[in-house]
Amino acid sequence: MFIVFYLKSTFLLSSLILFFGCSQPIVKVFNHQKFSFLSNELVAQKPTPVAVEFQEILPKIKEQTQLPILLPSELLITGTDRKIYIEGKGTSNSYEITLAFTPNCTGNACSIGYISAEKGSQPLEDEFSRELSLVQNIKGYFRPLTCGASCAPPIIGWEYKGVFYRISLKGVGQSPEIEGETLANMANSAIAAGAR
């Protein structure tokens, strides 16, 4: 409808110019560039939001680290409706965000896991048991839930721009395959969204 109005207005002005014999075009007020940027805005994609659980801690971590902060767009933890407490800290070349069922958690029972990054870090020996492919042709490393004297939650890791990232969380699946898929989905969303 706006385009029809624009064309009718242009035709009307052109007719007036011819009728009154003006030599200078006064249609410059209708700058066509204004309409093209409107259409670009309509097709532009909105930035992917960070998972709601991390929105409060994110500004604090951004003040403390110089690393690109990669966080998933959704926290894919199942099997609980309990409140999740998020804490975090950063340095110039690292950061760690912890998730727990209680504030100031220091034990395995209340801990859910963590998301971390460290510049120049590499996978530790025996930290991961298999490789997988992530977005942007990034090689990922994965280890499912393992239990010995105590249980270690599943973990995924990947290197991005010289920084090694890890996500280790409980409650992401009932089998190694589902754990791997869930953690890969979170890692992929974090990589695709880019630095927060």
Whole-angstrom distance, CA of residue 95 vs CA of residue 73: 18
Assess whether pLDDT exceeds 90 at residue 189.
Answer: yes
Specify whether 32 is located in the same domain as 58.
no
Specify whether 39 is located in the same domain as 63.
no
When pLDDT is cut at 50, 70 and 90, the band that residue 82 belongs to is: confident
pLDDT in tens, 84-100: 999 999 999 999 999 99
For 82-107, b where at least 16 C-beta lie within 10 A, e where not — what string?
A: eeebbebebeeebbbbbbbeeeebee
Q: For position 149, what pLDDT does the model report?
A: 81
pLDDT in tens, 128-174: 999 999 999 999 999 999 988 888 999 999 999 999 999 999 999 99
Q: For position 17, what pLDDT does the model report?
A: 42
- The segment with the largest mean pLDDT, out of 8-17, 72-81, 114-123, is 114-123
Q: For position 14, what pLDDT does the model report?
A: 46
Specify whether 32 is located in the same domain as 107.
no
Q: What average pLDDT does range 165-187 have in this prediction?
A: 96
Residue 57 or residue 49, greater confidence: 57
Average model confidence (pLDDT) across the chain: 82
Specify whether 31 is located in the same domain as 77.
no
**How much is the pTM?**
0.75
Specify whether 33 is located in the same domain as 67.
no
Whole-angstrom distance, CA of residue 81 vs CA of residue 77: 10
Assess whether pLDDT exceeds 50 at residue 41.
Answer: no
Specify whether 131 is located in the same domain as 180.
yes
Specify whether 79 is located in the same domain as 162.
yes
Assess whether pLDDT exceeds 90 at residue 79.
Answer: no
Assess whether pLDDT exceeds 80 at residue 2.
Answer: no
Specify whether 27 is located in the same domain as 105.
no
Specify whether 32 is located in the same domain as 74.
no
What does the block give as tokens for 46?
């909105």
Give the sign of the dihedral formed by CA 196, CA 121, CA 165, CA 84.
negative
- Total residues belonging to the chain: 196
Q: Which residues pair with 167 in a beta bridge?
A: 115, 156
Domain of 33 in residue numbering reads as 2-43
Q: Report the number of distinct structural domains present in the chain.
A: 2
Specify whether 39 is located in the same domain as 56.
no
Whole-angstrom distance, CA of residue 150 vs CA of residue 97: 22
Q: Which amino acid is at 162?
A: G
Specify whether 27 is located in the same domain as 59.
no
Task: Confirm if 9 and 153 have CB atoms less than 8 A apart.
Answer: no
Task: Confirm if 157 and 138 have CB atoms less than 8 A apart.
Answer: no
Q: For position 32, what pLDDT does the model report?
A: 36
Assess whether pLDDT exceeds 50 at residue 28.
Answer: no
Angle between helices 33-43 and 2-20 (to 10 degrees): 170
Q: What average pLDDT does range 106-114 have in this prediction?
A: 91
When pLDDT is cut at 50, 70 and 90, the band that residue 106 belongs to is: confident
